[in-house]
Amino acid sequence: MRLFLAINLPVAERRAIRAATASMRAAGEGRDVQWMGDAQLHITLKFLGERPDDAVSPLRAALAPVVGSHAVFPVELRGLGAFPNLRAPRVVWLGVTPDPKLELLQHDVERTCAEVGYALDARTFRPHITIGRARDLVPAEAARAIAASARGVRYAASVPVHSVDLMASELRPAGARHSVLAALALGGS
C-alpha cells in the first residue's frame, strides 16, 4: 500500500477551504486540473511510498512517542499559489505559514522514519495543502484564469494540530482515496 504521514484538517475546515476556493475550481474546471475532494485536504509531512502491510505496526510504534513529545499547536493557513508557479501550475496549493513548531515536528518525523529504515527526503519541507493537480501542461489561458481567481480568494484560518496520521492512499481513476491507518496524538491531545 502507498503510505504517507499527514496532518489532517477538521471536516468543517476542509469544507471551508473548498467553499473559499470554489471560484478557482470553476476557473480551472475541465482544463487539465484535478481538484482535490474534501477528504484529500491535508498537510503531508512525509511520503513513504509503496510499503507492505506489515510496515504499519513498526512505524506506529516508532512514531507514537516522538509525536507525543510535541504539544498541540496551531497552524496558520493562508495564501494560494502553485508549484512551480501560477503561470505553469502543476500543483495548486493553499499555503501553510512556516512555524518552528511545525518544522520541528516534521523534522522529528523525518528523523524517526530514517531511524527505522526509510530514506531521508533531501527536499526542503514546504508546508502546504494541495488543492489541485495538473495532469499535463495547463494552457496559458486557463492558468491565467486560475491565477486571477486565486487573487480574489480571501481565506485564512488557524487550525490546531492534534495528531499526525499514518495514511494509506489508494489510487483510483477518479482520484486518490485516503484512509487513516493510525492517529498518533500530540501531547495534550
Nine-digit cell string for 93 = 496549493
Give residue 31's identity as a one-letter amino acid code. R
Of 42, 70, 107, 178, catalytic? 42
Q: Is the peptide bond before 84 cis (omega within 30 degrees of 0)?
A: yes
Q: Tell me if residue 188 falls in helix, strand or coil.
A: coil
Whether the Cβ atoms of residue 74 and residue 158 lie closer than 8 Å to each other:
yes
Q: Is 128 a catalytic residue?
A: yes
Q: Is 70 a catalytic residue?
A: no
Q: For residues 64 and 66, what is the distance between their CA atoms, to the nearest angstrom?
A: 6
Nine-digit cell string for 63 = 512514531
Q: Which residues are catalytic?
A: 42, 128
